[in-house]
């Protein structure tokens, strides 16, 4: 189902005449472009309006020409930036029952994360391309790393090369050996990488978001391989459980239960408490994050990004889970892998392993 078909259903189900979308996730879902200037803000500088006919866009005059060049056939209306805000401009142009995905006076506020699922065929093709390209850049940078580089130097290189591929980079984490033992979110610093390093990125293009992580080792700690393998087994379990739970019309909590069992089976029963484990992915880095009690539907075809970690290690890919099987979107075939057995089933998946750069 296309984005506009899904919005038709929202209008009908909620007895609405109009819906306005200005959060980055929803705007990108409908237009395939990014409406942000300040990338730290979830609401952009333009809103797309849909009333069951053709979508239109509303933005301030200083953005209008640029946005017209980005959105192609979608009509763009404008208001003077000094006269009003985006929210007030929407209110002034809206009659009848209406909703928005951010606070607008007089309009109902809606959350459309469920409506963005599952992915349609056009989005899946874009997602495959983004996954391949993200992984290719991430891996090419990681192959060149040295222990004396700083975390910030690596992050700068990664961000620059990804940006050249017309991606934005909402997340770029690079951690060296010392800090990886202490932090699960390793925001880059001026510290050198040391004996090993992990790089994690989220990239966005055409509204879609991909997540991936790679590990390199220069003088690997004795425990690195075993802990990474444990995290990989949890990851494989999560992927296989997602496919099974979706076929049984289950929910996120069912997948999370399998993740907890996997941590217990690999000898790290408490590690799931120290970092979130991921969840559904698509027009957000995580459309939802699984928890022990989360009752969100596990849909197909849909992207999922699970990111289990065991102290100092992390395994993360974006996968497409369909009715038939699973497809790792962030695999290039150029990085070392090992066949990894999930807990509880005999459906192994090839998982990435740390790249040994010690020679």
Strands 302-306 and 208-217: unpaired
* Confidence (pLDDT) at 39: 83
> What mean pLDDT is reported for the chain?
97
Q: Please report the pLDDT score of residue 240 as a whole number.
A: 98
In angstroms, the CA 259 to CA 264 distance is 9
- When pLDDT is averaged across residues 279-304 and rounded to a whole number, the result is 97
Task: Examine the pLDDT at 151 and tell me if it is beyond 90.
Answer: yes
Q: What is the mean pLDDT of residues 81-91?
A: 98
- Residue 323, pLDDT above cutoff 90: no
* Average pLDDT of span 79-104: 98
The per-residue pLDDT for 273 is: 98
Go through the domains of the chain in sequence order and give each one's CATH number. Answer: 3-109 (3.40.350.10), 121-356 (3.90.230.10)
Whole-structure pTM value: 0.96
Residue 134, preceding peptide bond in cis (omega within 30° of 0): no
Whether 350 has a pLDDT exceeding 80, the answer reads yes
**265-274, pLDDT tens digit by residue?**
999 999 999 9
* Distant-in-sequence, close-in-space partners of 150: CB < 8 Å, separation ≥ 6: 188, 189, 190, 191, 192, 193
Q: What percent of the chain has pLDDT over 70?
A: 100
pLDDT tens-digit map of 8-37: 999 999 999 999 999 999 999 999 999 999
In percent, how much of the chain has pLDDT > 90?
Answer: 97
Structure tokens, 330: 């962030």
Which tokens sit at 33? 């472009």
Beta bridge partners of 197: 176, 216
Give pLDDT tens digits for 115-150. Answer: 999 999 999 999 999 999 999 999 999 999 999 999
Q: Are 282 and 208 in contact, with CB atoms under 8 Å apart? A: yes
Whole-angstrom distance, CA of residue 205 vs CA of residue 201: 13
Furthest C-alpha separation in the chain: 69
Round to whole Å and give the CA distance between 229 and 315.
Answer: 9
Q: Which two tokens stand for residue 211?
A: 């997540």
- For residue 198, what pLDDT band results from cuts at 50, 70 and 90? very high
**Which residue in this structure is represented by tokens 């899904």?**
6
Residue 283 has pLDDT above 90, yes or no: yes
Q: In whole angstroms, what is the distance from residue 39 CA to residue 202 CA? A: 13
- Per-residue pLDDT averaged across 154-158, rounded? 98
Nearest C-alpha neighbor of 262 from the set 290, 294, 300: 290
The SS3 assignment for 40 reads coil
Q: In this predicted structure, what is the pLDDT of residue 66?
A: 97
């Amino acid at each position: 189902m296309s984005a506009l078909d899904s919005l038709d259903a929202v209008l009908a189900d909620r007895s609405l005449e109009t819906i306005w979308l200005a959060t980055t996730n929803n705007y990108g879902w409908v237009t395939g472009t990014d409406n942000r200037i300040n990338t730290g803000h979830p609401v952009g500088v333009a809103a797309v309006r849909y009333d069951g006919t053709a979508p239109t866009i509303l933005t301030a005059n200083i953005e209008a020409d640029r946005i017209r060049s980005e959105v192609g056939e979608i009509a763009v209306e404008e208001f003077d930036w000094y006269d009003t805000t985006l929210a007030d401009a929407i209110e002034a142009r809206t009659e009848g029952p209406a909703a928005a995905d951010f606070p607008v006076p007089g309009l109902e506020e809606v959350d459309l994360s469920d409506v963005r699922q599952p992915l349609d065929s056009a989005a899946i093709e874009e997602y495959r391309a983004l996954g391949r390209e993200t992984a290719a850049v991430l891996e090419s940078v990681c192959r060149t790393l040295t222990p004396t580089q700083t975390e910030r130097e690596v992050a700068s290189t990664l961000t620059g090369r990804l940006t050249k591929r017309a991606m934005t980079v909402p997340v770029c984490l690079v951690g060296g050996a010392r800090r990886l033992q202490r932090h699960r979110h390793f925001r880059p610093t001026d510290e050198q990488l040391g004996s090993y390093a992990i790089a994690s990125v989220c990239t966005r293009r055409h509204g879609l978001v991909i997540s991936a992580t790679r590990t390199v080792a220069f003088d690997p700690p004795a425990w690195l391989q075993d802990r990474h393998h444990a995290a990989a087994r949890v990851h494989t379990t999560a992927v296989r459980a997602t496919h099974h739970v979706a076929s049984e019309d289950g929910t996120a909590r069912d997948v999370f239960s399998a993740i907890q069992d996997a941590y217990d089976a690999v000898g790290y029963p408490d590690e799931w408490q120290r970092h979130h484990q991921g969840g559904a992915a698509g027009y957000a880095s995580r459309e939802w994050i699984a928890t022990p009690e989360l009752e969100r539907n596990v849909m197909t075809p849909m992207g999922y990004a699970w990111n289990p970690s065991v102290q100092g290690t992390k395994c993360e890919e974006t996968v497409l889970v369909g009715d038939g099987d699973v497809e790792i979107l962030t695999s290039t075939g150029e990085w070392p892998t090992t066949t990894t057995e999930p807990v509880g089933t005999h459906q192994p998946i090839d998982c990435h392993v740390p790249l040994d750069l010690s020679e």
